[in-house]
Amino acid sequence: MLRWIRVQNVAVIERLEIDFEPGLNLITGETGAGKSILIDALGLVLGSRVTSDIIRTGSDRAIVEASFEVASVPEALASRLESAGVEVDEEVVVRRELTSAGRGKISVNGVAAPRQLLRDLAPFLADIHGQGENSSLLRPGAGLELLDRFGGMEVLAESVRDSSREVRRFEGDLAESERTGKERELRRRELVHELSELDGALLRSDEDEELAAERKLVSHAEKLRTFADEVYAELYDEEGAAIPRLARVWSRVESLGEIDPRWNAYSAERAAVMSQLEDLAFYARDYSQEIDVMPGRLDEIEARLSVLERIKRKYGGDLTSAISRRDASRAELEAIDSSDDRRDQIGEKLERARARYREMAIELTRMRRNAAKELERAVKKELPSLALPKARFVLELRTDETSWGETGLDQLEMLFSGNTGEEPRPLARTASGGELSRFMLALKSVAAKDASSKTLVFDEVDAGIGGRVADAVGEKLLELAAVHQVICVTHLPQIASFAPAHYRIAKIERKGRTETEVTRLDMDGRVGELARMMAGAVVTESAREHARQLLNRKRTNVRV
């Protein structure tokens, strides 16, 4: 339900705030006081178009803010809000601002949002029935939604919608898999050439680093052998070598230690020092003997490094990248080679999905045709009591089995004729504001058990009626208010007398400017307002007594 709305600097409204009640809310007031402007302001937070003309003269911006209570968030609404980054905890607060420069700002629960988000949310929050684009009847697809709810086909309609999306997904997958044969063959040739080069190179991780190290050794083989031989000779092999000479040194140290114990600390290190020197000498001897460079080995290394450098430059800069490129190319080539099989699999899935869609869509069409006849008959019974005795209502359901839309194979147009001899025509082009509101009232009365409880707003519902018909309209509004929150603008005291919550909008002058104010009426206030609506500018005691009689009449579920 709509909990409250705040309007600032919109047309004649400088500042206005209304807290609404569950059930039936009636708004009355003199012509031009701002009643319809209030409805238009509500339309703004539901996504209607707006221009800077609505901004109150002398102001630089207009602001409309509204809070909707959502006891349980429908899955579709929750999904749409989540995709927009909006969190909801049983309340949706919409704020819309327009500046005189034509720039606008929209937020939903404090999160900046586009106007399209408001239009997407509107069907879940409120329906406005009257003149202009705000009427929910004029929204594309509204007729099918109403018919599906009336006929209890919402689950099947949702299944058709899901099936349609599945078909579209498989069609997209198939189109992707069916790239032209020329494109696939061209790419295949590129991959075959690439893999021939990469596979032929027999790449091995870190091979270039290993070869670079080997090249350094091979190119300095003679120098390495000479130096190793000299190390062995100097330590062990030639006359005057270090190790034999050190043996004589250690003998003298031991003799010194026998006389002076302070030398014994050095004697203790003899074994370790001699062992390291002997290991070094024998390693140098063995190293020299192991150096055996095959003729041409350096040329082989240079040639291999040249191949690897070319591969690295061409495929990523290092061997790791080149190896990854090879593996990825092989996987892509395998995918291309198996594309025909995949395309056939997708094609089979697509045909099965189309068959499922068609079966459900045909059943939905059949149920819609039956429900359309029932809805036409039910509405026809309601129209005379709402001052539409000659009106005709036709649901024109057109089926195109080549159309695979999310709403099924059908398109629905609501046709209306208010006068004898006139052929029914599309509702938006034939019904006046009052007729449209009363007609929607008849539709909603028939479909009052609609599970998606929301706020219903009726503007001009009483245009061209009075007397007994006004009572009938009031009764219909009261019936709807048992399921939905209903907000109605009315000029008739008979209708206004039905409302548990009655608001009066009036124009006042303050500091040379016209302003609009709203008052929640108590019992005395309601008596006075109904008397004014009956008698005009001069309210007589007779009119007040008549107003009391209207309010005191027994009405089911009406609290006065």
Cβ-Cβ contacts under 8 Å for 434 (sequence gap 6 or more): 460, 461, 462, 463, 464, 465
Angle at 79 between CA 78 and CA 80, to 5 degrees: 95
For the beta sheet containing 126-129, the strands, ordered from the edge strand earlier in sequence to the opposite edge, are 126-129, 455-458, 485-489, 24-29, 501-510, 513-520
For residues 333 and 352, what is the distance between their CA atoms, to the nearest angstrom? Answer: 29
Q: What is the DSSP letter of 263?
A: G
Q: Which residue carries 């929607």 as its tokens?
A: 440
Give all strands (DSSP E) within 405-553, no chain letters: 410-417, 425-426, 455-458, 485-489, 501-510, 513-520
User: d(Cα 479, Cα 458) in Å, to the nearest integer?
Assistant: 14
Closest C-alpha among 408, 387, 340 to residue 162? 408
Print pLDDT tens along the chain (560 aa).
899 999 999 888 888 899 999 999 999 988 777 788 888 889 899 888 888 888 888 888 999 999 998 877 777 778 888 888 888 878 899 999 999 888 889 999 989 998 888 888 888 888 887 655 445 566 667 788 888 888 889 889 999 999 999 999 998 888 877 766 567 778 888 889 989 888 888 888 888 888 888 788 888 888 888 888 888 888 887 777 888 888 888 888 888 888 888 888 888 788 888 888 888 888 888 888 888 777 888 888 888 888 888 888 888 888 888 888 898 888 888 877 777 677 788 889 999 999 999 999 999 999 999 999 999 999 988 888 887 888 888 999 999 888 888 899 999 988 888 777 778 888 767 656 667 777 778 887 887 555 567 888 888 777 777 777 888 888 888 888 888 899 998 888 888 888 889 999 988 887 778 788 889 999 999 998 889 888 877 788 888 888 888 888 734 444 43
- Other CB atoms within 10 A of residue 364 CB: 22
Stretch (H or E) spanning 200 = helix 181-200
Six-digit token pair at 45?
């937070």
**pLDDT computed for residue 159 by the predictor:** 93
Q: For the chain, what's the residue count? A: 560
Kindly give the interhelix angle for 142-150 and 154-177, rounded to the nearest 10 degrees.
Answer: 130
Q: 61 is written with which tokens? A: 């911006």
Distance CA 194, CA 334 (A): 14
pLDDT at 134: 47
Q: Check: CB of residue 487 under 8 Å from CB of residue 458.
A: yes
Q: What is the pLDDT of residue 424?
A: 85
